Amino acid sequence: MIKAVVVDMDGTFLDDQKRYDKKRFMNQYQEMKRLGIKFVVASGNQYQHLVSFFSDIKDEITFISENGAKVIDQGKLIYQNPIQHEKIQQVLQLIEGKAIFDGYRLVMSGEKAAYIHKNATAEYRKKADYFYHNLVEVEDYKEVQDVVYKFAFNFAHEKVQRCEAELNTFFAGELLAMTSGHEAIDLVNVHSGKDLGIKALADYWQITIDEVAAFGDNLNDFSMIKSVGYGYVVANGRTEVKAIADKVIESNNQSGVLNELDQIIDSVKKQIRSEQNARYI
């Protein structure tokens, strides 16, 4: 029986206009709550950004943010895996010193704020303003004094795969680079990832991974979809992720997640009724 539902946001739960049917979802959420099904948001995005989509219930639900580097359940921090200071300095030295990384754009996502270079283009600043709350300009990333969860890089589209491979080779066993598609690469501590965030929650709630359903679309959802008992990928998702899904559902613009939530809720109700009836036989 499904006891927790985990949803990626961009490209999965949200449509291309970054919206979802809030009224419909809130009705579903109340049913899930009544049935004892946990609702989890899992994203590479900053916790403060994710909370803004669920302001009415933010202290009731769970957030796996920063691609698994920070997990908060009902307003309580239950797991975090920040990048150590010396490793931050190594990353900054590497990207400044190798030609493959030329032209990089970066937001460092921390506990107190997110940090962007003061010379960032207006276009990149506008994009960062959407995804990060409390965005602070810095003259030198090395001067940041904060707990840092993630490097959010943007590279030219044609260089993304090579940059990801370079980062993973250089920091093998220490840091993990994950592309979320297009020009973006998130670099986090190696013991992060949405799948590890789910594992931490399963242990905390004393449920099994097989009792978790997860929805995603992109490569940073791959391990999550593969690890859970019920893995769903939206029709607009990456081919590689669809290949390991238990089910491919309708696209993010067709309310694919909400449509499937209706089926999950109905299925759990039937299982509960069946168990109740079995007690009286």
Length of the chain equals: 281
* Crossing angle of the two packed helices 256-279 and 22-35, in degrees rounded to 10: 20
Full strand arrangement of the beta sheet holding 76-80:
76-80, 70-73, 62-65, 38-42, 4-7, 212-216, 230-234, 247-249
Please pick, among 8, 10, 195, 221, the residue that the annotation labels catalytic.
8
- Tell me how crowded residue 93 is: count the other CB atoms within 10 A of its CB: 11
To the query of whether residue 8 is one of the catalytic residues in this protein, the response is: yes
Active-site positions read 8
